[in-house]
Chains A and B, each alone.
Chain A
Amino acid sequence: MVAACTLAVLGTLVPLGDDAASSAATDRGPAARAGYAAATDDAACTGPVRSLDPAKGSVDGAAVARIKAHGKLVVGVDQNSYLWGFRDPATGDFAGFDIDIVKAIAKDILGDENAVQYLTVPTAGRIDAIKSHKVDMVVRTMTVNCERAADVAFSTAYFTAGQQILTADPAITGFDDSLNGKRVCTATGSTGDDELKKGAHGATVVPVDNQLDCLVLLQLREADAVFTDNALGAGQAAQDPNVHLAGHPVTSEPYGVAMNLADTDLVRRVNKVLAAYRTDGRWTASYNHWLQPHLPGMKPPAPLYQ
């Protein structure tokens, strides 16, 4: 923990929210939250996690050679986050903002954006899959934070999400007192759940297992608003033109590509790909295709290197 967190040099305290995918999970127990507390209490790790600079080391070492020898990039993804990583029910293929990034990395390393073996990893199994080299990387709306940086290496952030209110009710203006007397749905154990416990602005919390269940309750009028990661909120808004994200995000959660701590050349390689991806228009094209209509006004986050 200490070794990893020395990576963090400076920065203000960023609320360490959990990532989108685990908001969707059902199995986050007290252990996960205890870890969260330990990370935030650690004086050595208080800022954004910084990644390896591609200009300061090899981008074509042992890890990249291993992938080339295998001929396929093995990537842990989600198949349950609409717009990010999901199976298009019509084709059965993976698609989404995360998947576009996977394809860009595969194209750079192997010259073929389809040279990818997708493995669907459950939220709880992500870090183990990386540590055991079952996957080369995980691209799965995974929030970069100090606690996780002790176990896995993160790329620079490729998106910044945050907890936000989603609603169809024009009287609700965001995560504020307009929620008074309303029913707010959130996934049990998610960051949204934690925030609501700190202060719910007079709202009644409706807990569910999976964030997408909230959209069902919203449509059946068993809830008035959903409090979730805006990345997933955009996914819900995309499935129902009557709902929209309201107000501003309450937290700031950078998403990064997670890799094995030993694969430093791969981390630099991915950062190199992301640097180009952000600036050559591909990031914007993917953003405009998947997210912009429901999550407008976003820019690629600036990379933070060590």
Chain B
Amino acid sequence: MTHTPTGHQVPDVRSGAGIPAPRGTAPQPTSVTPAGRSAWAEQSARLRAAATTEPGRLRIIGAALALLVIAFGAVTAWQVDNRARAADNVVEHSAPLSATAAEIHRSLADADATVTGGFLVGGQPPQSVSEQYQRDIDNATKLITQAAATSGGSAQARAQIAALNKQLPQYVSLVATAQADNRVGLPVGGAYLRYANTQMRKEGGLLDTADKLYTIENARLASDYEHAKALPYASWALGVVALGVLVWAQRRHYRRTNRVFNRGMLAATAASAVVLLWLAAGHTVARMELKNSSAHGARSVQVLNNARILVLQARGDENLTLVARGSGDKYIKSYDQGMTTLAGADPKGVGGELAQALRLADNDAGRAPVQDAIADVRTWRARHTAERKSDDDGDYTTAVAEVIGGKDSSGKAVPASATTGSSFDAVDDSLGKAIDHEQQEFNDAANSGRDALTLLPLGAAVLAVLGALAALFGIGRRLSEYR
């Protein structure tokens, strides 16, 4: 308080910030200068000259504090908004797209397994088979269109979708020819079916393409996860610097004036601290939830989807071995390979994708359907071995009955519940349930993760503006003492 005002026009940051002048003094009309960057630029030369005097120094400190707090808030809002957007993409875009791609894959594999089963019944395929096949094709068509509409700018995804669009009608036409030939009793129908199956499964075929689309969508999902989980280092650093400078300014204030508190700077410190804590807590929670949704949901769903495709292919192989009538060695091999990948080499053990799905399931509700699937696969494999023995012994009729039900060669009815078909249905069903469960877990966790970030960008911005104003107010109070 020993200094007197210098008398020259002093730019009054208070009026620029719109804060009522203390002690009722009117603001200088010529000193209206916005606080922040432009004021800094315009006045830098004068400020450098003014730095030799205490009011000048105070002005510089005030501007720096306001800038730091605003920058901290802005960078926090920007970084958190980016992460919130990425989390939103996980929930709203990439995860549904990944699920759509998986469902396209499943529908196609199901169509193939279904239509091959229809060929084991003489003459006209049963209505249930035709309907199921049609449902699968309709579903695949619908989802491919949906994927095309939502896949955004990804050129890779578009290429796969174009390939699916091109190949699906070809496959449907081959199956139609196969069915028409089979209906009039021409064995070439079976050959057409095998050809259609080859087109479905070959490299670059429908299943491969759907799998690639799934991989692309999963990569996008993983990338959105990474963006959402990336640590906001810049925000943390700015927050720490802003708090540090605020503490330093208050120390300086205390040393010069012997006053413990400057209310404005104290409020700015509190606002900055709240933003920093909110940032740390909110993003940590979001990270944890997203990590959870990724580990327990998305990863589980992927493993289960793979398992389901393997199940459908194994069923197709089982049917085609019989459709091929004595020359189905390649389907026998393919079945064995598929089952090994699905459930391990030991028909009575647990291995492969199903064992992994069991490991990934994180609670009893998630484990139960997987355990059911494992038990049903075991039954299926035992029944399959019996069915193969019947066929290898030349008893085709019994083999067919053991696969789809009906009468065996001695005229005895094989109940539907004792067929490999019922085991297949049970496995497919259990895996469907397991996928639904994991999908739900995924959605819940991903939503909580996203929600943890929702208000943070706005909150950081508002608090930063308030903090900056408070800092300016505090400095302004001190400055007014020089008038």
Q: Which residues of A contact B (CB under 8 A)?
A: 24-27, 76, 78-80, 82, 86-92, 117-123, 125, 129, 134-135, 209-210, 212-213, 215-216, 219-220, 235-236, 239-240
Contacts and interface: CB of A to CB of B under 8 A. Distances in A.
Given A79-B325, A80-B327, A122-B327, A91 B191 contact: no
B327 A89 contact: no
A27 B332 CA distance: 12
Contact of B327 (A26, A118, A135, A240): A26
Contacts of B327: 24-27, 80, 122-123, 209-210
A214 to B, nearest CB: 9
B325 A87 contact: yes
Contact of B182 (A24, A86, A89, A240): A89
A216 B197 CA distance: 13
B188 A236 contact: yes
Nearest to A93: B122
Contact of A86 (B181, B183, B187, B397): B187
Nearest to B409: A117
A23 B37 CA distance: 86
Contacts of B324: 80, 210
A121 B326 contact: yes
B226 interface: no
B399 to A, nearest CB: 9
B394 A76 contact: yes
B278 interface: no
B395 A119 contact: yes
A129 to B, nearest CB: 8
Majority-rule SS of B interface residues: helix
Contacts of B182: 89
Interface string B164-198: 00000000000001000111011111111011000
Interface string B310-329: 00000000000000111101
Contact of A216 (B188, B395, B409): B188
Q: What is the interface residue range for chain B against chain A? A: 20 to 34
30 contacts: A24-B326, A24-B327, A25-B327, A26-B327, A26-B329, A26-B330, A27-B327, A76-B394, A79-B325, A80-B187, A80-B327, A82-B187, A88-B185, A89-B182, A89-B189, A92-B122, A119-B394, A120-B326, A121-B394, A122-B392, A123-B326, A129-B394, A134-B393, A209-B327, A209-B330, A213-B195, A215-B191, A219-B177, A219-B188, A239-B188
The 5 residue pairs across chains A and B that have the minimum distance between CB atoms: A119-B394, A92-B122, A212-B191, A80-B325, A239-B186
B333 to A, nearest CB: 11
Interface string B199-240: 000000000000000000000000000000000000000000
B123 interface: yes
B396 interface: yes
Nearest to A236: B188
Contacts of A79: 325-326, 396
Nearest to A80: B325
Most buried by B among A121, A122, A129: A122
Contacts of B325: 79-80, 87, 120
Nearest to A94: B396
Contacts of A125: 392
Contacts of A216: 188, 191-192, 195
B176 to A, nearest CB: 13
Contact of A213 (B122, B191, B326, B409): B191
Contacts of B177: 219
Contacts of B391: 120
B194 to A, nearest CB: 7
Nearest to B397: A92
Given A26-B327, A123-B326, A209-B327, A89 B187 contact: yes
A135 B395 CA distance: 12
Nearest to A217: B195
B408 to A, nearest CB: 13
A90 B122 contact: yes
A215 B326 contact: no
Contacts of B188: 82, 212, 215-216, 219, 236, 239-240
Most buried by B among A135, A210, A212, A219: A212
A97 B192 CA distance: 24
Nearest to A125: B392
B326 A91 contact: no
B246 to A, nearest CB: 78
A209 to B, nearest CB: 7
A89 B185 contact: yes
Contacts of A236: 188
Given A120-B394, A212-B190, A240-B188, A80 B195 contact: no
A87 B323 CA distance: 11
Nearest to A82: B187
A121 B192 CA distance: 23
A108 B298 CA distance: 69
A194 B397 CA distance: 35
A285 to B, nearest CB: 21
A89 B394 contact: no
Contacts of A25: 326-327
Contacts of A87: 122, 325, 396
Nearest to A21: B326
A82 B182 CA distance: 13
Given A89-B123, A212-B187, A118 B394 contact: yes
A117 B408 CA distance: 13
A80 B409 CA distance: 18
Contacts of B395: 119
Interface string B382-400: 0000000001111111000
Nearest to A129: B394
Given A24-B326, A120-B325, 4 more contacts: A26-B330, A122-B326, A212-B187, A240-B188
Given A120-B394, A213-B191, A213-B195, A90 B185 contact: yes
A209 B197 CA distance: 14
Contacts of B187: 80, 82, 86, 89, 212, 235, 239
A191 to B, nearest CB: 16
Contacts of A235: 187
A123 to B, nearest CB: 7
